[in-house]
Protein backbone atom coordinates (compact mmCIF):
# COMPACT_ATOMS: atom_id res chain seq x y z
CA UNK A 1 0.00 0.00 0.00
CA UNK A 2 2.84 2.39 0.94
CA UNK A 3 4.71 1.66 -2.30
CA UNK A 4 1.52 2.16 -4.32
CA UNK A 5 0.88 5.47 -2.58
CA UNK A 6 4.47 6.60 -3.25
CA UNK A 7 4.16 5.58 -6.89
CA UNK A 8 0.92 7.51 -7.25
CA UNK A 9 2.50 10.56 -5.63
CA UNK A 10 5.49 10.37 -7.96
CA UNK A 11 3.27 10.05 -11.00
CA UNK A 12 1.19 13.02 -9.85
CA UNK A 13 4.33 15.07 -9.27
CA UNK A 14 5.74 14.09 -12.66
CA UNK A 15 2.50 15.07 -14.38
CA UNK A 16 2.56 18.41 -12.61
CA UNK A 17 6.16 18.98 -13.66
CA UNK A 18 5.38 18.07 -17.24
CA UNK A 19 2.36 20.37 -17.25
CA UNK A 20 4.48 23.14 -15.80
CA UNK A 21 7.19 22.60 -18.41
CA UNK A 22 4.61 22.68 -21.19
CA UNK A 23 2.91 25.86 -19.95
CA UNK A 24 3.88 28.93 -22.01
CA UNK A 25 6.12 31.42 -20.23
CA UNK A 26 4.07 34.37 -18.97
CA UNK A 27 4.41 37.74 -20.66
CA UNK A 28 5.51 40.52 -18.32
CA UNK A 29 3.98 43.88 -19.09
CA UNK A 30 6.23 46.91 -18.71
CA UNK A 31 3.88 49.88 -18.49
CA UNK A 32 4.04 53.26 -16.76
CA UNK A 33 2.22 53.66 -13.46
CA UNK A 34 -1.51 54.09 -13.95
CA UNK A 35 -1.60 52.45 -17.39
CA UNK A 36 -3.61 49.23 -17.37
CA UNK A 37 -2.73 46.39 -19.74
CA UNK A 38 -5.17 46.05 -22.63
CA UNK A 39 -7.91 43.42 -22.43
CA UNK A 40 -6.88 39.96 -23.58
CA UNK A 41 -9.53 37.53 -24.92
CA UNK A 42 -9.94 34.23 -23.11
CA UNK A 43 -9.52 32.26 -26.33
CA UNK A 44 -6.13 33.82 -27.07
CA UNK A 45 -4.21 34.20 -23.80
CA UNK A 46 -0.98 36.15 -23.98
CA UNK A 47 2.42 34.53 -23.46
CA UNK A 48 6.00 35.61 -24.10
CA UNK A 49 6.38 32.95 -26.78
CA UNK A 50 3.26 34.09 -28.60
CA UNK A 51 4.34 37.74 -28.49
CA UNK A 52 7.73 36.84 -29.95
CA UNK A 53 6.16 34.71 -32.68
CA UNK A 54 3.74 37.51 -33.53
CA UNK A 55 6.58 39.99 -33.73
CA UNK A 56 8.50 37.73 -36.11
CA UNK A 57 5.40 37.21 -38.26
CA UNK A 58 4.67 40.94 -38.32
CA UNK A 59 7.91 41.40 -40.28
CA UNK A 60 7.54 38.20 -42.35
CA UNK A 61 7.18 38.87 -46.10
CA UNK A 62 6.24 35.22 -46.69
CA UNK A 63 2.79 36.11 -45.40
CA UNK A 64 2.18 37.66 -48.82
CA UNK A 65 1.62 35.64 -51.97
CA UNK A 66 4.80 36.76 -53.72
CA UNK A 67 7.00 37.22 -50.66
CA UNK A 68 7.28 40.99 -51.08
CA UNK A 69 4.98 42.40 -48.39
CA UNK A 70 4.75 42.04 -44.63
CA UNK A 71 2.53 43.79 -42.09
CA UNK A 72 5.46 46.11 -41.43
CA UNK A 73 5.53 47.16 -45.08
CA UNK A 74 2.54 49.37 -44.35
CA UNK A 75 2.93 49.69 -40.57
CA UNK A 76 6.41 51.16 -40.04
CA UNK A 77 7.63 51.61 -36.48
CA UNK A 78 9.31 54.98 -37.08
CA UNK A 79 5.95 56.26 -38.35
CA UNK A 80 4.16 54.95 -35.23
CA UNK A 81 3.18 51.86 -37.24
CA UNK A 82 1.46 53.86 -39.96
CA UNK A 83 2.51 54.64 -43.54
CA UNK A 84 3.78 57.74 -45.33
CA UNK A 85 1.58 57.31 -48.41
CA UNK A 86 -2.00 58.37 -49.05
CA UNK A 87 -2.83 54.71 -49.59
CA UNK A 88 -0.65 51.66 -50.16
CA UNK A 89 -1.00 49.32 -53.15
CA UNK A 90 -1.33 45.57 -52.71
CA UNK A 91 0.98 42.84 -54.00
CA UNK A 92 -0.69 42.81 -57.44
CA UNK A 93 -0.63 46.57 -57.74
CA UNK A 94 -4.26 47.02 -56.71
CA UNK A 95 -4.55 50.57 -55.35
CA UNK A 96 -5.13 50.85 -51.65
CA UNK A 97 -8.49 52.26 -50.76
CA UNK A 98 -7.87 54.04 -47.47
CA UNK A 99 -5.01 55.54 -45.52
CA UNK A 100 -3.09 53.12 -43.29
CA UNK A 101 -4.15 53.47 -39.65
CA UNK A 102 -1.52 53.66 -36.91
CA UNK A 103 -1.40 50.78 -34.42
CA UNK A 104 -0.46 52.51 -31.16
CA UNK A 105 -2.83 51.32 -28.41
CA UNK A 106 -5.06 49.64 -31.00
CA UNK A 107 -5.98 46.89 -28.55
CA UNK A 108 -7.97 49.35 -26.43
CA UNK A 109 -10.35 50.28 -29.27
CA UNK A 110 -13.91 49.03 -29.71
CA UNK A 111 -13.62 49.00 -33.51
CA UNK A 112 -10.54 48.68 -35.66
CA UNK A 113 -11.06 50.00 -39.20
CA UNK A 114 -12.05 53.20 -40.94
CA UNK A 115 -15.40 52.00 -42.22
CA UNK A 116 -16.63 48.78 -40.61
CA UNK A 117 -17.63 48.68 -36.93
CA UNK A 118 -17.93 44.90 -37.19
CA UNK A 119 -14.16 44.48 -37.00
CA UNK A 120 -13.78 44.45 -33.23
CA UNK A 121 -11.16 41.74 -32.63
CA UNK A 122 -7.52 41.95 -33.63
CA UNK A 123 -7.61 38.24 -34.43
CA UNK A 124 -10.23 38.68 -37.17
CA UNK A 125 -8.91 42.01 -38.39
CA UNK A 126 -5.46 40.50 -39.00
CA UNK A 127 -7.00 38.28 -41.67
CA UNK A 128 -8.31 41.26 -43.68
CA UNK A 129 -4.96 42.26 -45.23
CA UNK A 130 -3.92 38.61 -45.51
CA UNK A 131 -7.00 37.23 -47.26
CA UNK A 132 -9.08 40.26 -48.22
CA UNK A 133 -10.23 40.76 -51.80
CA UNK A 134 -11.57 44.32 -51.78
CA UNK A 135 -8.88 45.43 -52.27
CA UNK A 136 -6.31 42.64 -52.46
CA UNK A 137 -3.46 43.50 -50.12
CA UNK A 138 -1.22 40.52 -49.30
CA UNK A 139 -3.02 38.18 -51.67
CA UNK A 140 -3.22 35.04 -49.52
CA UNK A 141 -6.89 34.18 -50.02
CA UNK A 142 -7.19 30.42 -50.57
CA UNK A 143 -3.49 29.90 -49.91
CA UNK A 144 -3.68 27.93 -46.66
CA UNK A 145 -1.39 25.16 -47.96
CA UNK A 146 1.19 27.67 -49.20
CA UNK A 147 1.19 29.36 -45.79
CA UNK A 148 1.70 26.08 -43.94
CA UNK A 149 4.38 24.89 -46.39
CA UNK A 150 6.34 28.13 -46.20
CA UNK A 151 6.37 28.52 -42.44
CA UNK A 152 6.49 24.78 -41.74
CA UNK A 153 9.64 24.35 -43.82
CA UNK A 154 11.51 26.52 -41.29
CA UNK A 155 12.60 24.56 -38.20
CA UNK A 156 12.69 27.75 -36.16
CA UNK A 157 9.10 28.58 -37.02
CA UNK A 158 8.04 25.03 -36.13
CA UNK A 159 9.62 25.50 -32.71
CA UNK A 160 8.12 28.96 -32.23
CA UNK A 161 4.60 27.75 -33.08
CA UNK A 162 5.08 24.78 -30.73
CA UNK A 163 6.13 27.12 -27.92
CA UNK A 164 3.33 29.61 -28.62
CA UNK A 165 0.50 27.11 -29.14
CA UNK A 166 1.28 23.98 -27.09
CA UNK A 167 -2.41 23.16 -26.62
CA UNK A 168 -2.81 23.10 -30.41
CA UNK A 169 0.27 20.97 -30.94
CA UNK A 170 2.11 23.89 -32.53
CA UNK A 171 -0.33 23.97 -35.43
CA UNK A 172 0.52 26.39 -38.23
CA UNK A 173 -2.59 27.88 -39.80
CA UNK A 174 -4.22 31.18 -40.68
CA UNK A 175 -5.94 31.03 -37.29
CA UNK A 176 -2.75 30.65 -35.27
CA UNK A 177 -0.92 33.21 -37.40
CA UNK A 178 -3.74 35.69 -36.75
CA UNK A 179 -3.68 34.95 -33.02
CA UNK A 180 0.07 35.52 -32.85
CA UNK A 181 -0.15 38.77 -34.83
CA UNK A 182 -2.99 39.99 -32.61
CA UNK A 183 -0.99 39.16 -29.50
CA UNK A 184 2.01 41.16 -30.68
CA UNK A 185 -0.22 44.10 -31.56
CA UNK A 186 -1.63 44.11 -28.03
CA UNK A 187 1.84 44.93 -26.74
CA UNK A 188 2.09 48.09 -28.90
CA UNK A 189 1.26 50.41 -26.02
CA UNK A 190 2.26 54.06 -26.33
CA UNK A 191 2.13 56.01 -23.05
CA UNK A 192 5.33 58.03 -22.59
CA UNK A 193 4.78 61.10 -24.76
CA UNK A 194 5.36 64.60 -23.32
CA UNK A 195 1.59 64.80 -22.86
CA UNK A 196 1.64 61.59 -20.81
CA UNK A 197 4.54 62.81 -18.72
CA UNK A 198 2.69 66.04 -18.09
CA UNK A 199 -0.37 64.13 -16.93
CA UNK A 200 1.83 62.22 -14.51
CA UNK A 201 3.07 65.45 -12.94
CA UNK A 202 6.06 66.56 -15.02
CA UNK A 203 5.48 70.31 -15.29
CA UNK A 204 8.34 70.72 -17.75
CA UNK A 205 7.06 68.19 -20.29
CA UNK A 206 4.88 70.60 -22.28
CA UNK A 207 5.91 73.91 -23.81
CA UNK A 208 3.77 76.98 -23.21
CA UNK A 209 2.45 76.74 -26.76
CA UNK A 210 1.50 73.09 -26.22
CA UNK A 211 -0.29 74.00 -22.99
CA UNK A 212 -2.28 76.67 -24.79
CA UNK A 213 -2.99 74.17 -27.55
CA UNK A 214 -4.21 71.62 -25.04
CA UNK A 215 -6.63 74.13 -23.51
CA UNK A 216 -7.91 75.01 -26.98
CA UNK A 217 -8.21 71.34 -27.96
CA UNK A 218 -10.35 70.62 -24.90
CA UNK A 219 -12.48 73.74 -25.29
CA UNK A 220 -15.97 73.92 -26.72
CA UNK A 221 -14.71 76.50 -29.19
CA UNK A 222 -12.59 73.96 -31.06
CA UNK A 223 -14.68 70.94 -30.09
CA UNK A 224 -11.88 68.47 -30.84
CA UNK A 225 -12.42 66.45 -27.67
CA UNK A 226 -16.02 65.64 -28.55
CA UNK A 227 -14.72 62.87 -30.80
CA UNK A 228 -11.00 62.74 -30.02
CA UNK A 229 -11.64 61.89 -26.39
CA UNK A 230 -10.00 59.91 -23.61
CA UNK A 231 -6.35 58.95 -23.17
CA UNK A 232 -6.07 57.80 -26.79
CA UNK A 233 -7.89 60.78 -28.29
CA UNK A 234 -10.56 58.68 -29.98
CA UNK A 235 -14.07 57.78 -28.92
CA UNK A 236 -13.41 54.35 -30.47
CA UNK A 237 -11.94 53.48 -27.08
CA UNK A 238 -14.98 54.52 -25.03
CA UNK A 239 -18.27 54.07 -26.90
CA UNK A 240 -20.59 51.21 -26.04
CA UNK A 241 -21.90 50.94 -29.59
CA UNK A 242 -18.96 50.89 -32.04
CA UNK A 243 -21.06 52.76 -34.62
CA UNK A 244 -21.04 55.80 -32.35
CA UNK A 245 -17.33 56.30 -33.06
CA UNK A 246 -18.04 57.00 -36.75
CA UNK A 247 -18.50 60.62 -37.81
CA UNK A 248 -18.70 62.73 -40.96
CA UNK A 249 -16.41 65.75 -41.06
CA UNK A 250 -16.85 66.86 -44.66
CA UNK A 251 -18.67 66.28 -47.96
CA UNK A 252 -19.63 62.73 -48.88
CA UNK A 253 -17.49 61.08 -51.55
CA UNK A 254 -19.62 58.83 -53.73
CA UNK A 255 -16.59 56.59 -54.32
CA UNK A 256 -16.29 55.79 -50.61
CA UNK A 257 -19.43 55.96 -48.50
CA UNK A 258 -17.68 54.79 -45.34
CA UNK A 259 -20.06 53.40 -42.74
CA UNK A 260 -22.95 53.75 -45.20
CA UNK A 261 -21.49 50.92 -47.28
CA UNK A 262 -21.88 48.60 -44.31
CA UNK A 263 -25.26 49.70 -42.98
CA UNK A 264 -26.93 50.64 -46.26
CA UNK A 265 -28.31 53.72 -44.54
CA UNK A 266 -27.71 56.96 -46.50
CA UNK A 267 -27.51 58.79 -43.16
CA UNK A 268 -24.26 56.89 -42.51
CA UNK A 269 -22.65 57.98 -45.78
CA UNK A 270 -19.37 59.79 -45.19
CA UNK A 271 -19.02 58.57 -41.62
CA UNK A 272 -15.61 57.15 -40.69
CA UNK A 273 -14.13 55.98 -37.40
CA UNK A 274 -12.39 58.57 -35.27
CA UNK A 275 -8.65 57.89 -35.54
CA UNK A 276 -6.45 58.10 -32.48
CA UNK A 277 -4.26 61.20 -32.37
CA UNK A 278 -1.38 59.54 -30.55
CA UNK A 279 1.85 60.11 -32.49
CA UNK A 280 -0.19 62.06 -35.04
CA UNK A 281 2.78 64.24 -36.05
CA UNK A 282 4.45 61.08 -37.41
CA UNK A 283 1.54 59.63 -39.37
CA UNK A 284 0.96 62.05 -42.26
CA UNK A 285 -0.89 62.15 -44.59
CA UNK A 286 -4.24 62.39 -42.82
CA UNK A 287 -7.95 61.54 -43.03
CA UNK A 288 -9.45 58.27 -44.26
CA UNK A 289 -8.21 58.84 -47.82
CA UNK A 290 -4.87 60.44 -46.96
CA UNK A 291 -5.94 63.59 -48.77
CA UNK A 292 -4.69 66.03 -46.11
CA UNK A 293 -0.92 66.39 -46.39
CA UNK A 294 -0.39 68.37 -43.18
CA UNK A 295 -1.89 68.66 -39.73
CA UNK A 296 -3.01 72.19 -40.50
CA UNK A 297 -4.87 71.02 -43.59
CA UNK A 298 -6.48 68.14 -41.68
CA UNK A 299 -7.69 70.50 -38.95
CA UNK A 300 -9.14 72.95 -41.47
CA UNK A 301 -11.06 70.14 -43.18
CA UNK A 302 -13.20 69.71 -40.04
CA UNK A 303 -16.48 71.55 -40.41
CA UNK A 304 -16.93 74.37 -37.95
CA UNK A 305 -13.31 74.55 -36.80
CA UNK A 306 -11.83 77.96 -37.59
CA UNK A 307 -8.49 78.87 -35.99
CA UNK A 308 -6.37 81.95 -36.54
CA UNK A 309 -2.65 81.57 -37.17
CA UNK A 310 -1.66 81.75 -33.50
CA UNK A 311 -4.28 79.26 -32.39
CA UNK A 312 -3.28 76.88 -35.17
CA UNK A 313 0.36 77.08 -34.09
CA UNK A 314 -0.63 76.25 -30.50
CA UNK A 315 -2.87 73.40 -31.60
CA UNK A 316 -0.13 71.83 -33.69
CA UNK A 317 2.32 72.23 -30.79
CA UNK A 318 -0.06 70.28 -28.58
CA UNK A 319 -0.56 67.56 -31.19
CA UNK A 320 3.22 67.31 -31.51
CA UNK A 321 3.39 66.67 -27.75
CA UNK A 322 1.49 63.41 -28.36
CA UNK A 323 4.59 61.96 -30.04
CA UNK A 324 6.07 59.08 -28.05
CA UNK A 325 9.72 58.78 -29.10
CA UNK A 326 10.27 55.80 -26.81
CA UNK A 327 7.47 53.91 -28.55
CA UNK A 328 8.79 54.48 -32.06
CA UNK A 329 12.32 53.38 -31.13
CA UNK A 330 11.53 50.55 -28.69
CA UNK A 331 13.58 47.49 -29.77
CA UNK A 332 10.86 45.16 -28.46
CA UNK A 333 8.68 46.23 -31.38
CA UNK A 334 11.37 46.34 -34.04
CA UNK A 335 12.41 43.82 -36.68
CA UNK A 336 13.91 40.85 -34.81
CA UNK A 337 17.64 40.54 -35.43
CA UNK A 338 17.82 36.87 -34.58
CA UNK A 339 15.78 33.79 -35.48
CA UNK A 340 16.03 31.08 -32.82
CA UNK A 341 19.35 32.49 -31.69
CA UNK A 342 20.83 32.83 -35.17
CA UNK A 343 21.18 36.08 -37.16
CA UNK A 344 17.95 36.66 -39.07
Render 26-87 in DSSP notation, one character per residue.
PP-----TT-PPPP--TTS---HHHHHHHHHHHT-GGGSTTS---HHHHSBGGGTSB-SSSS
Residue 22 has a pLDDT of: 56
Map out the domains of the chain with their CATH numbers: 48-189+327-343 (1.10.760.10), 194-324 (1.10.760.10)
Residue 17 has a pLDDT of: 45
Whole-prediction pTM: 0.92
* Backbone φ/ψ region at 246: left (φ over 0), alpha (ψ -120 to 50), beta: beta
Do 120 and 320 contact (CB within 8 A), yes or no?
A: no
Three-state SS at 230: coil
Residue 1 has a pLDDT of: 43
Cβ contacts of 244-249, under 8 Å, gap ≥ 24: 245/110, 245/111, 245/117, 245/273, 245/274, 246/115, 246/117, 246/271, 246/272, 246/273, 246/274, 247/271, 247/272, 247/274, 248/272, 249/287, 249/301, 249/302, 249/303
Going residue by residue through the chain, which has 344 residues, state the pLDDT in tens, using 9 for 90 and above. 444 444 454 444 444 444 444 567 899 999 999 999 999 999 999 999 999 999 999 999 999 999 999 999 999 999 999 999 999 999 999 999 999 999 999 999 999 999 999 999 999 999 999 999 999 999 999 999 999 999 999 999 999 999 999 999 999 999 999 999 999 999 999 999 999 999 999 999 999 999 999 999 999 999 999 999 999 999 999 999 999 999 999 899 999 999 999 999 999 999 999 999 999 999 999 999 999 999 999 999 998 899 999 999 999 999 999 999 999 999 999 999 999 999 98
Amino acid sequence: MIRAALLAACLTASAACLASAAAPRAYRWSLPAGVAPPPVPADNPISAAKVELGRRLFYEADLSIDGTMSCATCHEQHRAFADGNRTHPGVHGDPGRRNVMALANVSYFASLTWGDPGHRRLESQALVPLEGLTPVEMGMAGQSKALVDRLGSDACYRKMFADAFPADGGKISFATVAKALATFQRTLVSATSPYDRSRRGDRTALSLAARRGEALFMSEKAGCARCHSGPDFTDAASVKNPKDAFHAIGPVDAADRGLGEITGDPKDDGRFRTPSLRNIALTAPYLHDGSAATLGEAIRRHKGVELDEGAMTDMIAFLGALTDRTFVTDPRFALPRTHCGRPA
